[in-house]
A = this chain, B = another copy of it.
Amino acid sequence: MIQYPSKHIEKAVEEISKLPGIGKKTALRLALHLLKEKEGTSHLLANSLIDLRTKTKYCIKCHNISDDDICGICASHRRDKSIICVVEDTRDVLAIENTGQYSGLYHVLNGVISPMDGIGPSELTVESLLERIKTNEEVKEIIFALSPTMEGDTTSFYLTKKMKNLPLELSTIARGVPIGGELEYTDEITLGRSIITRTKNE
């Protein structure tokens, strides 16, 4: 147990180290950095965190983070409203948007089914997704873009079962050897699957 020289630094280290991936040593380094910086730096940071938590809205359609009730993507006339890409969280939306390869809509689940963590379908935006599909005849395809983990696969499987009687095309983003990656460093499960699910050269 470290004896901090001031209760304010102790409290700051305690709160900062609650953030994921930040231990007490890093928290102390960050706290000492803020002490060296101008007072405005700490105020800007603190205010941005409060605004983030109190003012951020979620799109009522796709549940992505948004400034308005309906997010920019759902509101855009340039997006293809016949495709919905199902993702775990906002970071995945950003990653896919960043590729410039997708012009459809999204649905943010806010997690994946994980019985170990007590997360079932009712903790996610699953009901809202099913409702959205059923009440919206424009939708023709659902793309599952969940992490290739057990939890991601379980979630895809669950949703597929729920949707298989609906007039929809269901697909999953391709899995295989990452482009630019060295074959010898690819893990054996990915490499093995990439052989089984090989695609024909055209």
Interface residues of A (CB under 8 A from B): 2-9, 11-12, 14-16, 18-22, 26, 28-35, 39, 41-57, 64-67, 71-73, 89-91, 93-94, 97-98
19 extra A-B contacts, CB within 8 A, seeds A5-B72, A9-B52, A43-B53: A3-B94, A3-B97, A5-B64, A5-B66, A5-B73, A5-B90, A6-B65, A8-B48, A8-B56, A9-B90, A15-B44, A15-B49, A16-B49, A21-B29, A22-B30, A32-B89, A34-B49, A39-B53, A42-B50
A50 CA / B48 CA spacing, docked (Å): 12
Q: Are B72 and A8 in contact (CB under 8 A)?
A: no
A44-B91 Cα distance, complex, nearest whole Å: 25
Number of copies: 2
- Chain A interface, >50% SS class: helix
Asked whether B50 lies within 8 Å of A46 as measured between CB atoms, the reply is yes
Contacts of A93 in B (CB 8 A): 5
A6 near B57 with CB under 8 A, answer yes
**Least Cβ–Cβ distance between A197 and chain B, in angstroms:** 29
Q: Is the CB of B42 within 8 A of A6?
A: no
| Residues from chain B with Cβ under 8 Å of A89 in the complex | 32
Which residue on B lies nearest to A30, using beta carbons? B19
Given A18-B41, A26-B21, A52-B42, residue A32 in contact with residue B67 (CB < 8 A) = no
- The answer on a CB contact under 8 Å between B45 and A15 is yes
